[in-house]
Structure 1
Amino acid sequence: MTSETHIWMHIGAGSFHRAHQAWYLHRLLQQGDNRWHIALSNIRDDANPLLSALASQRGEYTLETVTPEGVREYEKITSIKKIIPWDKELAAMVAQGADSATRVIAFTVTEGGYYLDTQHQLDPRHPDIQADLAGDARTLYGALTRVLQARMAAHGNPVTLLSCDNLRHNGERFRRGFLTFLKLRGESALLNWVESQTRSPNTMVDRITPRPTADIAPRVKAASGFDDKAPVMGEAFIQWVIEDDFIAGRPALENVGVELVDSVLPFEEAKIRILNASHSCIAWAGTLVGQSYIHQSTQTAEIREMAWEYVTQDVIPSLTPSPLELEAYRDVVLSRFSNPYIRDTNQRVAADGLSKIPGFITPTLMECYQRGATPRATAVLPALFYLFLQRWQQDSLPYEYQDGVLDAAALRAQLRQPDALQRYAADQALFGELAHSQAFATLLQETVESLSSWARQPQPVAEEE
């Protein structure tokens, strides 16, 4: 590497980063722009097998994309030039983050990885946050504290902290959470440095990326001859919108199709409310009727209608006027979800519901009431999630439910109470001020009752490919 090489350090070694951000930086390399390389790291040890596989391949891997018509393409991604080995103290990550060549520290930690409450403030009561306030590094906040302490001590050069997660106002909300964390830790010097020497642009990211399955590697080998130990696949569609506010330089992402804008607000609102919320709706509903894959559930008429009505009746009026053609966006999204070749699982999309309800769904509920409308179509989504949680507490889900903010013992105890639905409707962490609304509680109860018998009926699924 030459001295002109800048490092994009990424925290979060999941599939989405490798199918999305790494793809865009790879495209720059393909254009002959060699100024930026990725160094990939992870906060927890759960990605160690993947990191080892990538290290054995010098960071290279194959991305398989597939269109709704079944056209597959294969591309070797070469933008990850350094694999940062995990260690308990995150020493290698800290060293890379402190290196003056590192100009951007980006992260994908899922919605739950920000530990925000319904008011979008850091929840200091969570055990992981408590541990990090005591000096641990279980969360993004604890990890970045170590990284930026070392950077400040080494040279103090500025750096951009870039969220690439499906979180509304993700840059602003991450930053507020991080600054709150630093205040609670008493890190006054680092707090002042972060306020003056970092930026946190908002972003909107989009590409459906299912967890890799065992059938990808044989297809990659047949197509390319490469015996890939870490392939990843995603849909052909991809989008990235970024607020152009970088403090230490950035890649020329506009040359590879990234939209650099003054405000991502209209893009992220449409994406989060139309795509992300509908995705969750379909996954919860599909699980309840015995289906495994998103495409099966989207192709089920009643489930597709739930998502279509939610967007049409409640979201589009909430987001109008918009620079986007919202009806067309809705239809494209449902077409993407119907892609039988992606084989995205309901398990993956159903995850983190305790963060998705307040983040993706409650804003539409509230805005409907504010304009004098009853959000009957939107109420279907938290009603489905309630029925889904009841299956979970009965141990009758067909898979393990994963949720970054789940307190399993407390939630199971609540769900076993005779007034469990009333308690759910009154949960301020999920529903904000609507937790005090009798109209909302009544609507939710009526909706749960109307869905209960339907959710007990297994639905036919499309023939498997």
Structure 2
Amino acid sequence: MAAQSVWMHIGAGSFHRAHQAWYLHKLIEQGDDSWTIALGNVRDDARDLLERLAAQNGEYMLETVSPQGDRRYEKITSVRKVLKWDSEISELVKQGASEETRVIAFTVTEGGYYLTPEHELDSEQADIRADLKGEICTLYGALTRILKQRMAEGGAPVTLLNCDNLRHNGERFRHGFLSFLKAKEETALYAWVSRQTTSPNTMVDRITPRPTADVAERVKAATGMADRAPVMGESFIQWVIEDDFIAGRPALEKAGVELVDSVLPWEEAKIRILNATHSCIAWAGTLAGLSYIDESTREPAIRQMAWDYVSQDVIPSLTPGTLDLAQYRDVVLARFSNPYIKDTNQRVAADGLSKIPGMVTPTLIACYARGHEPRASAVLPALFFLFLRRWAQGQLPYEYQDGVMQPALMAALFASPDPLKAFTANEALFGELAHQPSFHALMKRTVARLEEWVEETTGQPLTA
């Protein structure tokens, strides 16, 4: 039997358990159990989930559902160790320092990297300042604690693998982390990380809504398992990784992972077409009084907004290329229309302050660069502006979560004489476009048009 290797994953949410854990489970099913997962969390918000998983020896049921309503159930067995949380992340440190741990992977969402629009570490963020003083609020603070211990115990190489929707995610995480170590004056660790780790870029894809109580009920009815930690997702799944693992890797290609030299074509298509469109639909659906992504996508006006954004602005910006982007657009919209997933607008609408600069602004800039006014793309930040205005007025139907939002500053923006001007002039959101009068004028026209659409759709006037 091959020597056991551990894939330690930071981030115990639904996505990891429906995506990366599924791929390693498929290898185990094939008879290759040389890699297993140790799962933990940096923050205390998953303690109850981790305890429930530990009580089930890391096993849980994954329910997948196709657009036709075909539900399938698999018991995922790749999580062999559940790392109990404490304020010092003791078990993460111990496992991460162990030589058997050859990959440290993580899912923390876009806002969890604390990067400016120029992709530099935002050292003004309160969590980053706290971690520079020795606390553990962010991925950077956690990895500093983990890798410092690993270095002290002999320093075996390890791959640091990003599994988030961040453009050039491996490179940008790595630059942010090294910048953090430099600011923290961790000179020896900086040198060690530079030499003894790699950070491949990746592209991950599977829609995984937050599990609701009915998932466990269906799991019990279909399998007989009284699962206290089930997860569900769509039947579609994809994972593309640059093959740059410094300490070995699982035979992921045998489970359907695409190992490539560069993920760029897949990454750009996914971030600009799938991720940005997903958020567009969530913001528009919320404004239209809808709760779910599937019903929002089936609303003709919202579907048209998404279709126009991709067709008129994104595809020309990414052409020529190696992928059939029109086909990808149609597959994405079909996936979003799946009536059985019941993914919420609340979940997808989150973290817009990171999504606009990361997913939308590059297309806006590319359109202007080729002499094309991005009327279709301007709809996305205009929707987000109206969405945030609802937030400022206390009129959203749910709690909005955004990892980089400073509520007092955002409330002050909407209390200013011209909130749209202040929003559009925000360099953190729009970069060089923040200073272009043509972009300001386009946004003003687009917001006015969308205000009319919302009023017509809901029958209620929008209050400015």
TM-score when scaled to structure 2? 0.98
Distance 1:182 1:381 in 2: 35
Distance 1:457 1:288 in 2: 11
CA gap 1:3/1:321 in 2 versus in 1, 3 angstroms: closer
2:163–2:204 contact (8 Å) kept in structure 1: yes
Superposed displacement of residue 51, structure 1: 0.3
Q: Please give the secondary structure, in 2, of the residue aligned with 1:100.
A: coil
Distance 1:251 1:370 in 2: 42
Partner of 1:295: 294
1:288–1:456 contact (8 Å) kept in structure 2: no
Partner of 2:318: 319
Q: What letter is aligned with 1:36?
A: W
Distance 1:92 1:230 in 2: 21
Alpha-carbon RMSD: 0.9
Partner of 1:231: 230
| Percent of residue pairs bearing the same amino acid type | 68
Distance 2:321 2:221 in 1: 45
Any idea what the Cα deviations from partners look like across 1:21-58, whole Å, max 9, x if unmatched?
Answer: 00000000000001000000000000011001100000
Alignment of structure 1 residues 394-433 onto 2, 5 Å: 394-433=393-432
Q: What letter is aligned with 2:265?
A: P
Distance 1:415 1:136 in 2: 33
Any idea what the Cα deviations from partners look like across 1:236-267, whole Å, max 9, x if unmatched?
Answer: 00000000000000000000100000000000
- Identify the range of structure 1 (407-416 vs 35-44) with the bigger mean alpha-carbon deviation: 407-416
Distance 1:67 1:120 in 2: 37
Superposed displacement of residue 418, structure 1: 1.6
Partner of 1:263: 262
Distance 1:429 1:213 in 2: 35
1:243–1:260 contact (8 Å) kept in structure 2: yes
2:2–2:34 contact (8 Å) kept in structure 1: no
Superposed displacement of residue 453, structure 1: 2.0
Distance 2:451 2:457 in 1: 12
Q: What letter is aligned with 2:126?
A: P
Distance 2:56 2:208 in 1: 21
Partner of 1:100: 99
Partner of 1:83: 82
Q: What letter is aligned with 1:350?
A: A
List runs of 5+ in structure 1 lacking aligned partners. 461-465
1:434 aligns with 2:413: no
Superposed displacement of residue 338, structure 1: 0.2
Superposed displacement of residue 454, structure 1: 1.4
1:146 aligns with 2:152: no
1:291–1:459 contact (8 Å) kept in structure 2: no
1:99–1:151 contact (8 Å) kept in structure 2: yes
Runs of 4+ displaced beyond 4 Å: 457-460
Superposed displacement of residue 121, structure 1: 1.0
Distance 2:324 2:122 in 1: 36
Partner of 1:448: 447
1:272 aligns with 2:288: no
1:285 aligns with 2:284: yes
1:115 aligns with 2:114: yes
Partner of 2:378: 379
Distance 2:43 2:455 in 1: 38
Distance 2:432 2:237 in 1: 35
Partner of 1:57: 56
How many residues are aligned here? 459
Partner of 2:340: 341
Partner of 2:188: 189
Any idea what the Cα deviations from partners look like across 1:330-363, whole Å, max 9, x if unmatched?
Answer: 0000000000000000000000000000000000
Superposed displacement of residue 120, structure 1: 1.1
Superposed displacement of residue 415, structure 1: 1.2
Distance 1:212 1:395 in 2: 26
Alignment of structure 1 residues 242-253 onto 2, 5 Å: 242-253=241-252
Any idea what the Cα deviations from partners look like across 1:246-291, whole Å, max 9, x if unmatched?
Answer: 0000000000100000000000000000000000000000000100
Distance 1:328 1:145 in 2: 43
Partner of 2:462: none
List runs of 5+ in structure 2 lacking aligned partners. 460-464
Any idea what the Cα deviations from partners look like across 1:85-127, whole Å, max 9, x if unmatched?
Answer: 0000111110000001000000000000000111111100000
Distance 2:5 2:279 in 1: 37
Partner of 1:161: 160
Distance 1:188 1:455 in 2: 54
Distance 1:4 1:132 in 2: 36
